[in-house]
C-alpha cells in the first residue's frame, strides 16, 4: 500500500473541510482532502442550498395569493411540483463547481473519494492508500437522526437527505419534529399545495425565544399548517401513500408521506477513532476551545463533528480557527457568543448572543435592559405590509449581549448585531448610524435609540440644562 505524506489531511468535503483545504493549500501547505460521499457535503446537496431553493419557490406561490391588500387580485398558483424540484437541482448544480473535486485538484489538493479510517494516531487509510499527516481535521458533518419509533423501520419515510428528490407532490405531509428544519419544510410544502401536519413532542421552536416563536407559529397556523405540540409519537404504521402516526394521547394522524426532522447525528462511525486515540461521544469529538482533540493533539474537529452548534457558518468559522493554528502556530480559540443563526420560515427568525431568558439568568433582571422595536412602526415594513414581528435587544452596561428578531429578512438584519457582539460595540455605535430611508434596517436603529430615549427625554437634569442653554444662547 502506497503512503502519502502530507502536512494536513482533511476528512470531509463539506463547507468546513473545503474551507480548511482551500485556505491551507493556497498558503503553501500540502493538503489531502478525503470525501466518501458528495463534494460540498450536506449543505450543498441535502441541506441549506436545496431547502432555501424550495422555500424561494414556495414564496412565489404564496405571493400569488396575497396581493389583495395591494389592489392585486389573488390568483391560485398552478404549481408544477416536478419543475420546482428542477429549480432546486439547478441551484445545486450552479454552486457545485465551486465545491468540486476538479477545482480543489486545480488548487493543488490531493483529493481521495473514499471513506477514511484511522489506523494509528497519525495515519488514515482511504482509497487503497495510507495517508500520514502532521495534522488531521475531522470535518465529517452530520446526518439526519432517525429516532427508534416503533413501526418506523417498516414504513417509507423521508429525511432532509431524500425529500428534495421527491418529484410528486405529497397529498398530506406529516412532519415529525417542530424545530427549524421541520417548520421550514412544513410551510414550504403547504404553500406548494400540500396538506401539512407537524407533530412535536414538546414545544415547537422550543429552543427559541417564546415571544418570537409565537409569531412564527401563528403565521404557519394561519396559512393552514396543523401544528400539534406536546404530542410525542408512539407508533407509526402503514405503507407508501397511506401512513398513520399515533401520538401519546391516542390521536391518529393519517397522511401520504412522513418527514422525520427531529435533529442531527454526528457522522463519526466510519473513522475508527479508537485507533487514533481520539476521545469522542455521541455529540462529537471531545475538543477544547482550540478545537483540538483532548487526547490526540494532531487531530482537530470542526463544524458538527466538534460537538457544538450545528450550522454551516459555524463550520466555516471553525475552519479559520484551525488554519491559524496549523499554518501559523498562532493561538486561536472558538467561542459561540457572537454566532448568529436564522430560521427561514416566513416571517424569518434570527438570534445572536443571549436570549432574554438567558441574559436574565446570567446577569440578573436588574442588570439587563430589554429593548423592543416593532416592525409595525417601520415605514418600509408598512409600505410592504410586512408588519408582523419585532426586534429585542438585551443590553448590559451599555453593550448588547444578545439580539432576537422575528420579521421580514430577520436573517439579514441579525448581521448588524453579530458584528456588534463580535467587536464589543456599544449601543451608541448602533444608535449613531445613519441609514437610508425607508429601510427595514431602521428597526435596529430604533431599538438602539430606545436605550437612550429615557435618559434624554425623561430626565429633569437634561431639561434644566436645555433651559439654561436656551436662556444664554444669543
Per-residue tens of pLDDT for the chain, all 474 residues:
789 999 999 999 999 999 999 999 999 999 999 999 999 999 999 999 999 999 999 999 999 999 999 999 999 999 999 999 999 999 999 999 999 999 999 999 999 999 999 999 999 999 999 999 999 999 999 999 999 999 999 999 999 999 999 999 999 999 999 999 999 999 999 999 999 999 999 999 999 999 999 999 999 999 999 999 999 999 999 999 999 999 999 999 999 999 999 999 999 999 999 999 999 999 999 999 999 999 999 999 999 999 999 999 999 999 999 999 999 999 999 999 999 999 999 999 999 999 999 999 999 999 999 999 999 999 999 999 999 999 999 999 999 999 999 999 999 999 999 999 999 999 999 999 999 999 999 999 999 999 986 665 566 776 676 667 777 777
Query: CATH homologous superfamily for 3-39+100-143+265-328?
Result: FAD/NAD(P)-binding domain (3.50.50.60)
Nearest alpha-carbon partner for 233 in 221, 242, 246? 246
pTM beyond 0.85: the answer is yes
Quote the CA–CA distance of 97 and 15 in Å, as a whole number: 13
Cβ atoms within 10 Å of 352's Cβ, excluding its own: 26
Question: Nearest-CA neighbor of 378 among 433, 436, 440, 451?
Answer: 440
The set of long-range contacts for 92-98, using a CB threshold of 8 Å and a minimum separation of 24, is 92/44, 92/45, 92/49, 92/50, 92/53, 95/40, 95/44, 95/49, 96/39, 96/40, 96/44
* Strands 172-176, 257-260: pairing kind: parallel
Annotated binding residues, as ranges? 52, 140-142, 177-184, 200, 263, 304
Scan for cell 455521541, then name that residue.
282
| DSSP letters spanning 317-353 | HHHHHHHHHHHH-------STT-EEEE-SSSEEEEEE
What grid cell was written down for 348? 424569518
pLDDT value, residue 296: 97
At 426 the three-state DSSP class reads coil
Buried/exposed 247-283: b ≥16 CB within 10 Å, e otherwise: beeeeebebbbbbbbbebebbbeebebeebebebeee
- Write down the H helix ranges in 27-164: 41-45, 48-63, 81-95, 101-107
Spatial distance between the Cα atoms of 166 and 168, rounded to a whole number of angstroms? 6
Helices (H), 126-254: 180-191, 210-222
The answer to whether 247 touches 199, Cβ cutoff 8 Å, is yes
CATH topology of domain 152-262: FAD/NAD(P)-binding domain (3.50.50)
Cell numbers for 92, please give them. Answer: 445545486
Known binding-site residues for FAD equal 52, 140-142, 304
Specify binding-site residues for NAD(+): 177-184, 200, 263
Handedness of CA 265, 270, 272, 277 (dihedral sign): negative
Q: How far apart, in whole angstroms, are the C-alpha atoms of residue 33 and residue 368?
A: 47
Strands (E), 344-450: 348-353, 369-374, 390-396, 399-407
Where in the chain are all domains bearing CATH 3.30.390.30?
Answer: 340-457
Q: Where in the chain is the domain with CATH 3.50.50.60?
A: 3-39+100-143+265-328, 152-262
Q: What is the pLDDT of residue 419?
A: 97
CA angle in degrees (0–180, nearest 5) for 295-298-301: 80
- Classified by CATH at the fold level, domain 340-457 comes out as Enolase-like; domain 1 (3.30.390)
Amino acid at each position: 500500500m502506497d503512503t502519502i505524506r502530507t502536512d494536513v489531511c482533511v476528512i470531509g468535503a463539506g463547507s468546513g473541510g473545503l474551507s480548511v483545504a482551500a485556505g491551507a493549500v493556497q498558503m503553501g501547505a500540502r493538503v489531502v482532502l478525503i470525501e466518501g460521499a458528495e463534494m460540498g457535503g450536506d449543505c450543498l446537496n441535502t441541506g441549506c442550498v436545496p431547502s432555501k431553493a424550495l422555500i424561494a419557490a414556495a414564496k412565489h406561490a404564496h405571493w400569488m395569493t396575497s396581493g389583495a391588500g395591494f389592489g392585486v387580485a389573488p390568483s391560485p398558483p398552478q404549481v408544477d411540483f416536478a419543475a420546482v424540484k428542477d429549480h432546486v437541482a439547478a441551484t445545486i448544480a450552479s454552486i457545485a463547481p465551486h465545491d468540486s473535486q476538479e477545482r480543489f485538484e486545480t488548487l493543488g489538493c490531493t483529493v481521495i473519494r473514499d471513506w477514511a479510517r484511522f489506523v494509528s494516531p497519525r495515519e488514515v487509510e482511504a482509497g487503497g492508500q495510507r495517508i500520514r499527516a502532521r495534522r488531521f481535521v475531522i470535518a465529517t458533518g452530520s446526518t439526519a437522526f432517525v429516532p427508534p419509533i416503533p413501526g418506523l423501520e417498516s414504513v417509507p419515510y423521508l429525511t432532509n437527505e431524500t425529500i428534495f428528490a421527491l418529484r410528486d407532490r405529497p397529498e398530506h405531509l406529516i412532519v415529525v419534529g417542530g424545530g427549524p428544519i421541520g417548520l421550514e419544510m412544513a410551510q414550504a410544502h403547504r404553500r406548494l399545495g400540500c396538506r401539512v401536519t407537524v407533530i412535536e413532542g414538546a414545544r415547537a421552536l422550543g429552543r427559541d425565544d417564546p415571544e418570537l416563536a409565537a409569531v412564527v407559529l401563528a403565521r404557519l397556523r394561519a396559512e393552514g399548517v396543523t401544528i400539534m405540540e406536546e404530542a410525542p409519537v408512539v407508533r407509526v404504521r402503514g405503507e407508501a401513500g397511506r401512513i398513520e402516526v399515533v401520538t401519546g394521547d391516542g390521536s391518529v394522524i393519517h397522511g401520504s408521506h412522513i418527514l422525520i426532522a427531529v435533529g442531527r447525528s454526528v457522522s463519526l462511525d466510519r473513522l475508527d477513532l479508537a485507533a487514533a486515540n481520539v476521545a469522542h461521544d455521541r455529540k462529537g469529538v471531545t475538543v477544547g476551545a482550540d478545537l483540538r482533540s483532548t487526547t490526540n493533539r494532531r487531530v482537530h474537529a470542526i463544524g458538527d463533528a466538534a460537538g457544538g452548534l450545528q450550522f454551516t457558518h459555524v463550520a466555516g468559522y471553525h475552519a479559520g480557527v484551525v488554519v491559524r493554528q496549523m499554518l501559523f502556530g498562532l493561538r486561536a480559540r472558538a467561542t459561540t457568543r457572537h454566532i448568529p443563526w436564522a430560521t427561514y420560515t416566513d416571517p424569518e427568525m434570527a438570534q445572536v448572543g443571549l436570549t432574554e431568558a438567558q441574559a436574565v439568568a446570567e446577569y440578573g433582571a436588574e442588570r439587563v435592559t430589554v429593548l423592543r422595536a416593532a416592525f409595525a412602526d417601520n415605514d418600509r415594513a408598512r409600505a410592504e405590509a410586512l408588519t408582523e414581528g419585532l426586534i429585542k435587544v438585551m443590553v448590559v452596561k451599555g453593550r448588547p449581549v444578545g439580539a432576537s428578531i422575528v420579521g421580514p429578512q430577520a436573517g439579514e438584519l441579525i448581521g448588524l448585531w453579530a458584528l456588534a457582539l463580535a467587536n464589543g460595540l456599544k449601543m451608541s455605535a448602533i444608535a449613531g448610524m445613519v441609514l437610508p430611508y425607508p429601510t427595514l434596517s431602521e428597526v435596529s436603529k430604533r431599538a438602539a435609540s430606545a436605550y437612550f430615549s429615557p435618559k434624554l427625554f425623561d430626565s429633569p437634569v437634561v431639561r434644566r440644562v436645555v433651559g439654561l442653554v436656551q436662556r444664554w444662547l444669543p
